[in-house]
Amino acid sequence: MYCMRCGKALTDPAQELCRDCRHVRHSFVRGVAVCSYRNVSSVLYRFKYGERSEYAAFLGGMMASRVMREPDFASCSLIVPVPLSRGRMISRGYNQSELLGREISKKTGIPISCDALIRTKRTLAMKEMDHAQRRENLKKAFIVQGNDVKCKIIMLIDDIYTTGATMDACSEALLAAGAAAVYFVVFAIGESGPC
């Protein structure tokens, strides 16, 4: 059983939402993931930091298969990857979310816009931050450029979902720019906090 909002595994099958989603009001409608981060952390690390961009074809293909099994996602009309800061893009050489989004676009036929959402500042690493600290760190970190998202149902793409702070910050920017709704797809998802 999975959370009906973020897609995390539920510890209590009687609940529809995980503990995190019962305590935080998210901006997105719903999200799904392919697998648990715990099971694929080394693969994602190599993909992001080990110059293994070729992993995108396989990982993105799995994400596309997951999306195509979800009736809620059939209404998505535009794929938007979570952007990197300019500095991270230069040091990494590619945006892993963009590579995943391109693969999903190929498989689903949903168009992708890689420059609709822009990261305006380089944020601090968030691995050790709680949800409130992450939200503060991401404040005004994203803006929408152009009219690509207006009246569209967006499929936001990233490699991992932990607390939802990044998805919320991106969703808020997209909704403020006129997007009709935001869903998300990630390859891996963290675990819900303790009950």
Residue 54 DSSP one-character state: T
Q: Which of 3-12, 116-125, 181-190 ranks highest by mean pLDDT?
A: 181-190
Q: Which two tokens stand for residue 133?
A: 């600290």
* Spatial CA neighbour of 81 closest among 186, 175, 188, 189: 186
pTM to 2 decimal places: 0.91
Q: Which two tokens stand for residue 101?
A: 């989004």
Q: Per-residue pLDDT tens for 116-150?
A: 999 987 766 656 666 677 777 777 789 999 899 99
| Rounded mean pLDDT, 12-38 | 92
Tokens for 183?
A: 């869903």
- Specify whether the CB–CB gap between 59 and 92 falls below 8 A: no
Domains of the chain listed by start with CATH number: 19-189 (3.40.50.2020)
Tens digit of each residue's pLDDT (9 = 90 or more) over 43-65: 999 999 999 999 999 999 999 99
